Amino acid sequence: MRITVKHQVLLAPALVLLLLTLLLGFMQYTYWDLSVKRREAKALGTAFISLAEADLASRRIQRVLLQISRRGLAEENELVALANLSDLAAKAVARIEPFSDLMAPGKLEQLRTLSADLSPAKGVDLESMLTAVTQFRSEVTELTNLTAVQRQKLRDLHTQDIDELVERTALVMILVLGVAILLGIVLSLYFGRRILSRIQALSNAASRVAAGELEPPAAPERINDELDTLTLSINRMTKRLIQVVGTEKLFEGAEDERRRIAMDLHDQTLADLSSILRDLQALGSVCEGTCRQQAYELETNLTRAMSNLRDIMNNLHPQTLDILGLGAALEAHLGRQCEGQGLPHYHYYCDARISELGLSRVQQLAIYRIGIEAISNVIKHAAASRFEVGLELRDGLLVLSVEDNGRGFDCPPPGDGGGRGLNNLRERARAIGAEVRWQKSRFSSGTRFELQMAVSALFEAYTEKKG
């Protein structure tokens, strides 16, 4: 299952928050049930008070009716009192109506009828009114007792519910919090250790690569998260670095071999030829006629062969590069190769800061080889009358450019052919971390070749040194 690192980090707190939310929901449901019971208790309380008011009004009605019965005649103020008291009783019965579901069926309607019989509006019939008030009081007393019992039960149940609620809530809170904390710790430890161990493995692999142990980390079989993507990237980068280092070692070995061959040619072959030349010169000084002429011709041919051998030695490994540096080596090569009849005119510019950058021997050799190959291409193939060679620093980049006014050509992209020479240029540039490209010349025709290599670190060190 694919779980990103972000989700792995958030999983533990998210689960804890989910459990706490469920706990809050449980507590809300529990207190909601308790609030329903409180409303029932309040309803019973209201009904009890209304019944008490109705009972009090019926007692006073009964007292007034008894006074009228003893005198045998009702006074006006007594009739007014009866009307007011019967109205109070009717209103008390009306307030009981919202809680009629707490009573037996038909009780509320019976109380309404009895409260209406207590009103003197229909006339004062003492006997029927006393019977109605007695029955009314009996019903009210019965309902009052029933309501009181229900109130007591609800009060006891409410107290019991509160105790059970507190106990149950405390137990559930302890259990849920314990489970949430435990799960949070377990998940945090599991994913934390898993992520940290993988990061540590990647860090160790990167440290080994930085130390020169070019052993790529094992590529994951399946990409599940960002760390797998990073592992795969480091694996591919290490393999590419191995290829680049291998190519660099190959070029460095080839240059070392070139240097050794050039030294052997200088120390042995050229020395032997120099000895033969001296013997010819000595022979020519003592012989006469045809022998002297032949000795002179042999001396000339041998001198030419020695000069060609020196050119071969210089091409194998330019001594000027070791002695004077990259800029002077390129200038010397231009002086040797482009000073003859029928060759294009050239202009050479070299930034003075190049010699103080501290380029490695491998980098200087690669740039030199690329430069003389690009110059050779102009002389052999461009049919140019003029070209310019530049070696300069530009925005943290070392730029080698060779630009001509020849016929020009469309350079194919890498991998689409283009000849061994162009591929060699690309491979040499890649070995030192540089890039090469061809584009249209700034002249009216021709091609501009350009090599770019990042030297920001070297340039900063050079700037600090100068500062």
Concatenated DSSP letters for 199-219? HHHHHHHHHHHHTT---PPPP
Q: What pLDDT, on a 0 to 100 scale, did the predictor assign at position 412? A: 65
To which residue do tokens 């694996």 refer?
235
Q: Which of 100-104, 146-150, 314-318, 372-376 has the lowest mean pLDDT?
A: 100-104
Tokens, residue 110: 């019976």
Q: What pLDDT, on a 0 to 100 scale, did the predictor assign at position 238? A: 77
Report the C-alpha gap between 420 and 435 in whole angstroms.
Answer: 17
Q: Rounded mean pLDDT of 271-282?
A: 79
Percent of the chain with pLDDT over 70: 81
Q: Rounded mean pLDDT of 58-78?
A: 78
SS3 218: coil
Closest by CA to 437, choosing from 454, 452, 416, 424, is: 452
- CA neighbours within 13 Å on the CB side: how many for 9? 8
Chain-wide mean pLDDT for the chain?
A: 78
pLDDT higher than 90, residue 348:
yes
pLDDT higher than 70, residue 135:
yes
- CATH number at 5-190: 1.20.1330
pLDDT higher than 80, residue 384:
yes
Q: What pLDDT, on a 0 to 100 scale, did the predictor assign at position 247? A: 63
Q: What pLDDT, on a 0 to 100 scale, did the predictor assign at position 246? A: 65
pLDDT level of residue 388 (50, 70, 90 thresholds): very high
Position 87, amino acid: D
pLDDT higher than 90, residue 450:
yes
Residue-wise pLDDT tens digits, 220-257: 777 777 777 878 887 787 777 776 666 666 666 766 77
pLDDT higher than 70, residue 163:
no
Question: Which DSSP category does 317 fall into?
Answer: S
* Choice between 186 and 121, residue whose per-residue pLDDT is larger: 186
SS3 169: helix
Q: Which of 5-9, 76-80, 129-133 has the lowest mean pLDDT?
A: 5-9
By DSSP bridging, strand 386-394 and strand 397-404 are antiparallel
Tokens, residue 167: 């106990």
- Own/partner contacts of 232-240, CB < 8 Å, gap of 24 or more, are 234/202, 234/205, 234/206, 234/209, 238/205, 238/209, 238/214
Tokens, residue 125: 């019939």
pLDDT higher than 70, residue 159:
no
pLDDT level of residue 165 (50, 70, 90 thresholds): low
Contact partners, residue 407, CB within 8 Å, separation at least 6: 382, 383, 384, 445, 446
Fold of 320-467: Heat Shock Protein 90 (3.30.565)
Torsion of the alpha carbons at 154, 155, 158 and 163, rounded to the nearest 10: -140
Q: Domain 222-317, what architecture?
A: Orthogonal Bundle (1.10)
Q: What pLDDT, on a 0 to 100 scale, did the predictor assign at position 141? A: 78
C-alpha dist (Å) from residue 362 to 42, 312, 434, 441: 96, 20, 13, 29
Contact 404, 458 (CB under 8 A): no
Q: What pLDDT, on a 0 to 100 scale, did the predictor assign at position 53? A: 81
What are the domain boundaries of the chain? 5-190, 222-317, 320-467
Q: What pLDDT, on a 0 to 100 scale, did the predictor assign at position 349? A: 94
Report the C-alpha gap between 235 and 217 in whole angstroms.
Answer: 6
pLDDT higher than 90, residue 14:
no
Report the C-alpha gap between 345 and 386 in whole angstroms.
Answer: 5
pLDDT higher than 60, residue 151:
yes
Q: What pLDDT, on a 0 to 100 scale, did the predictor assign at position 291? A: 81
Report the C-alpha gap between 31 and 34 in whole angstroms.
Answer: 5
Report the C-alpha gap between 164 and 143 in whole angstroms.
Answer: 31
Q: Which of 109-118, 388-397, 407-416, 418-427 has the lowest mean pLDDT?
A: 407-416
Residue-wise pLDDT tens digits, 417-448: 555 678 888 888 888 889 999 999 988 899 99
pLDDT level of residue 1 (50, 70, 90 thresholds): low
Is residue 300 classed exposed, middle or buried when 0-12, 13-18 and 19+ CB atoms within 10 A define those classes?
exposed
* Choice between 23 and 407, residue whose per-residue pLDDT is larger: 407
Count of residues in the chain: 467
pLDDT level of residue 389 (50, 70, 90 thresholds): very high
pLDDT level of residue 198 (50, 70, 90 thresholds): confident
Contact partners, residue 392, CB within 8 Å, separation at least 6: 349, 350, 351, 354, 398, 399
* Choice between 379 and 417, residue whose per-residue pLDDT is larger: 379
